[in-house]
Amino acid sequence: MTETRNPIPPFTAETAARKVQAAEDAWNTRDPEKVAQAYSVDTVWRNRDQTITGRDQVIAFLTTKWDRELDYQLRKNLWAFTDDQIAVRFQYEWHDHDGQWWRSYGNELWRFDAHGYMTHREASINDRPISQEERRITPGRGELPTW
């Protein structure tokens, strides 16, 4: 029997926003095992130029990501939703091992099963080098800066 991961489809504006905030909160832990639990065991991702299939690959991907993207801080905002899909815009900031700070911008499209697990994730992401003084992303609720 599959456990339910609330909120579950069909989404409303309130439940879609809660799903987005839960994702932001989980990703900001930078704990690959914890984050992977939100995805179906056979989840399929397109992340930049990579295709990732299944929770084990999600865990490996996130482990590598956060070994490279240090002091990662993410913000996500709900963009749109349907019964079982959510679109978000996001920004996150991180620095590399050389101390260069980066802001990564993008959009994600998510699809969920009836139990509330994400079965598909498509992420389009662009990176821009920034100075430490340009940092503006803090975890929490609120709208992202528009530009």
Domain for residue 143, yes or no?
Answer: no
- 78: domain range? 24-134
Contact 119, 55 (CB under 8 A): no
pTM of the model: 0.93
Contacts of residue 44, defined as CB under 8 A and 6 or more positions apart, other chains included, come to 51, 52, 53, 119, 120, 121
pLDDT of 29-65, one tens digit each? Answer: 999 999 999 999 999 999 999 999 999 999 999 999 9
CB atoms within 10 A of CB 52: 19
Domain CATH number, residue 34: 3.10.450.50
Number of domains observed in the structure of the chain: 1
Contacts of residue 124, defined as CB under 8 A and 6 or more positions apart, other chains included, come to 48, 106, 107, 108
pLDDT of 91-101, one tens digit each? Answer: 999 999 999 99
